[in-house]
Amino acid sequence: MKITFCGAAGTTTGSQHLLEINGQRILLDCGLYQGRREESRLRNSHFLFEPSELEAVVLSHAHIDHSGNLPNLTRQGYRGNIFTTFATRDLCQIMLADSARIQDQDARWLNRQEEKKGRTDHPITPLYTPEDAELCLRQFVTMGYERSMVIAEGVKLTFYDAGHILGSAQVALDLHEHSTGRRKRLLFSGDVGRGHNDLLRDPAVVPDVDYLIMESTYGNREHELETQADDRLSDILQNALRGRGKVIIPSFAVERTQQLIYALHELSEKGELPKVPVYVDSPLAVGATEIFRIHPECFNEEVYRFQFDKKDPFGFEELHLVRKVTDSKKLNELDGPAIIISASGMCEAGRILHHLKNNIEDKRNTVLFVGFCAANTLGARIREGQPVVNILGGSYRVRSSVEILDSFSGHADRSELVDYFEHMGGPREKVWLVHGEPEQSAALCENLRGRHDGEVNVAVWKESVEF
């Protein structure tokens, strides 16, 4: 048995791990590498294995850094099954199509750069098209949590809830090596949730693990705030809306937006949300919200009960889901207080740019951040308190209030990862840490070595390990 770390080793993107057993190759995740444009293009176009030779693909969850290179894999000749959960399949339908649009924009950008240098003989084509994304979905085979299936000779797959995003799973593989008769359980954690999630269940405790491939995104960082953010959200909104201003919330379309909608719905039920219209203005967020509605099997007990007692957790009287561009533009003329949730969360693209442009110079308004913004993004500049920012080519003075609510993280922090490891009882044999920047993985590695008799190592990109 052998694993090769083909991505998300020493970094947090491009998750791909290749398992070899009984002469077959099984790929765990097929994520997109997301870094500088040209480097990303090179890494994503060339797989470290021959796609047509794979026996099966298993997908842990729908985030693009785990799923985003699947349409390219099938385009390059993979014809077998892609195993995942029901909700992950549905989220992939909209997220891969969205990713295809971004690939198209990136290819156009690169071609413009080439044209400027006078090179037009080899125009770059997108990594994949919306048609490739749709065709790839036809190879998906879906399974519920904790329903086992034999997916290859001597390989039985079981998904366990990872509590990270809707449909997210830990991938347990019961392996039977024919040549030696050895039987081992390998667990790939995927991304691990924090627990006490507003919508999802806690990560399941997987029994009898021998070998573990584990994420380490926040291997050396504790999240600052408690997970329950409703009280602070209520305070921020009440203050902001008292002055009859608007609240603009840059939000990630999948998961974060639905967490917000549910939190607002709860506040509305308790009479703690001022009676103002709430707009979700992002086609991807609206599509994702519809998918959340049809997957109660992923909800925690509270949301599950809410669904049966009070109906739709993701719909309430004041909520308006905006799809059409014309309806989005009407929001520019909106008079009076309102809450507008729009993507992207880091304010790099999308309709949020128009809302910021129209509202950031009015001191009655509030911009509320609910997620991480990478360095050098517009979101980061506003969060840092820069007095003047550039939006869509124009300069704008930040007169609105800026508020930050950082507790909605989808990833377990250092203590939560250690808890995850210890609840499992620790795997009996080896651990490989993936999906982390080097310093985060190294710190978690040291931490876990002190708690585990077996080997703990940080996975190295392109390296193979026999086990």
Query: What residues line the site for Zn ion (CB under 5 A)?
Result: 63, 191
Q: Which residue has the tokens 């203050």?
A: 239
**C-beta closer to Zn ion: residue 8 or 360:** 8
Shortest spacing between CB 85 and Zn ion, in angstroms: 14
Nearer to Zn ion, 191 or 202 (CB): 191
SS3 label, residue 286: helix
The residue whose two tokens read 């190294």 is 442
Within 10 angstroms of residue 368's Cβ, the number of other Cβ atoms is 22
CA distance 204 to 184: 20
**In the complex with Zn ion, which residue's Cβ is closer, 21 or 96?**
96
Q: How far is the CB of 220 from Zn ion (least distance, A)?
A: 18
Alpha carbons 15 and 65: distance in angstroms, whole number? 6
Nearer to Zn ion (CB atom), residue 59 or residue 391 = 59
Task: Name which of 74 and 88 has its Cβ closer to Zn ion.
Answer: 88
What is the SS3 assignment for 45-86? HCCCCCHHHCCEEECCCCCHHHHCCHHHHHHCCCCCCEEEEH
Residue where the block lists tokens 């295809």? 100
Beta-carbon contacts of residue 105 (< 8 Å; ≥ 6 apart)? none
Q: How far is the CB of 69 from Zn ion (least distance, A)?
A: 14
Shortest gap between Cβ of 191 and Zn ion (angstroms)? 4
Residue with tokens 């939000």, as numbered in its chain: 251
- Backbone φ and ψ for 193, nearest 5 degrees, come out as -75, 170
CB within 8 Å of 188: residues ≥ 6 apart: 17, 28, 29, 58, 60, 170, 171, 173, 213
Nearer to Zn ion by C-beta: 75 or 256?
256
Residue of 370, 378, 101 lying closest to 255 (CA atoms): 370
Nearer to Zn ion, 167 or 283 (CB): 167
| CB of residue 440 to Zn ion, shortest distance in Å | 15
Cβ(183)–Cβ(176) under 8 Å?
Answer: yes
Of 25 and 435, nearer to Zn ion (C-beta) is 435
**Residue 99 and residue 264: Cα distance in Å, rounded?**
29
> Minimum CB separation from Zn ion for residue 217, in Å?
8
Edge-to-edge, what's the strand order for the sheet holding 169-176? 149-152, 155-161, 169-176, 183-188, 211-215, 431-434, 456-458
HEC string for 339-380: EEEECCCCCCCCCHHHHHHHHCCCCCCEEEECCCCCCCCHHH
CB-nearer residue toward Zn ion: 90 or 191: 191
Instruction: Confirm if 250 and 287 have CB atoms less than 8 A apart.
Output: no
Contact 48, 141 (CB under 8 A): no
CA-to-CA distance for 172 and 37, rounded, in angstroms? 34
| Shortest Cβ 122–Zn ion spacing (Å) | 35
Nearer to Zn ion, 64 or 338 (CB): 64
Select 29 or 210, whichever has its Cβ closest to Zn ion. Answer: 29
